[in-house]
Amino acid sequence: MAGNIGADKYVPGTYAKRKPGAESLVGHYVRSWEGRRLAQEAEDRARAASSELAPCISFSRKIGVGALEIADMVAQKLKWPVADRELIEQIANQTNLSESAVSFFDERFPGYTSRTLKYLFGEKSFIDSDYSRHLISAVFAIAGLEPTVFVGRGTHLILPRDRVLAVRCICSDTYRAKRISEIMGIGKDAAEKRLPGIDKEQAAFFKKVFGKKMASPYEFDLVVNLDHFANPGDVADIVTLAFERKFKKSQVRAAAA
């Protein structure tokens, strides 16, 4: 999560706002998984097998668009947690945490992960990558715990399409450079020079994990051009309304129970 963002501490995909550290949030998820896992042992396995993931929201974007800020606003409206790039990677990159995530999710949703992976990706070889498996397990486990707003890491491709509102935030490079310049406290020209490197890193991630170049607009329910919205809060309102129209509130409550 973003903390004090300065010129030498900026983490791509974050914005200048104080937020809880990723480590403390990871601890929250681990404790929650363990608590839910123990409670689940006392419940009927048949009920667990028939459960569905709670509907979630997933934001996709190029770095610097401002999607994390909008995601936070949406989460505040819905009273949900936000799982961003840093939090997901904290879990995916630590074997013990990934194993806890797999254990929690598989016990609550027996066979769900393997069926979904086969449906989404078939027999693609990227599944053999430890990082890819851990990333997917982390996303599934967070989504299986409670309704969540996800930001980045291709979560709209990981989560079942009928259980996620997939949102793509786009804008011009001029808009991105302006935001990065303000956040990092650097000149606009310097910010513009950083964009190709940032985009190249993101493209390499999608190629490695999903075997594709970049996100297609046809993968999303909603594509928003932030060049034409002066107030991020208006975009948050649009996303919230779209979610409520796609998923009835009763569906959200039932799946999260």
Residue 60: predicted pLDDT: 92
For residues 255 and 55, the answer to whether their CB atoms sit within 8 Å is yes
| Backbone torsions φ then ψ of 193, nearest 5 degrees | -70, -25
**Residue 5 reports pLDDT greater than 50:** no
Amino acid in the structure at residue 127: I
Residue-wise pLDDT for 162-217, tens only, equals 899 999 999 999 998 998 888 888 888 888 888 888 888 888 888 777 777 777 88
**Residue 66 reports pLDDT greater than 80:** yes
For residues 142 and 29, the answer to whether their CB atoms sit within 8 Å is yes
Two tokens at 171? 């804008």
Confidence of residue 243 (pLDDT cuts 50, 70, 90): very high
Confidence of residue 228 (pLDDT cuts 50, 70, 90): very high
| 148 DSSP 8-state letter | -
Percent with pLDDT over 70 in the chain: 68
Of 185, 236, 241, 182, the C-alpha closest to 73 is: 236
Residue 50: predicted pLDDT: 39
Q: What is the mean pLDDT of the chain?
A: 77
Could you give all domains of the chain from N- to C-terminal order, each with its CATH number?
A: 22-256 (3.40.50.300)
Number of H helices, E strands in the chain: 12, 5
Q: How far apart are CA 164 and CA 180, in angstroms?
A: 29
Q: Is the dihedral of CA 187, 192, 195, 196 positive or negative?
A: negative
Of 40, 54, 250, the C-alpha closest to 146 is: 54
DSSP string, 197-221: HHHHHHHHHHHHHHSSSS--GGG-S
**SS3 assignment, position 225:** strand
For residues 128 and 86, the answer to whether their CB atoms sit within 8 Å is no
Of 65, 92, 72, the C-alpha closest to 2 is: 72
For residues 165 and 246, the answer to whether their CB atoms sit within 8 Å is yes
Q: How far apart are CA 16 and CA 1, in angstroms?
A: 10
For residues 138 and 193, the answer to whether their CB atoms sit within 8 Å is no
The residue that leads in pLDDT, 45 or 106, is 106
Confidence of residue 46 (pLDDT cuts 50, 70, 90): very low
Q: How far apart are CA 199 and CA 144, in angstroms?
A: 31
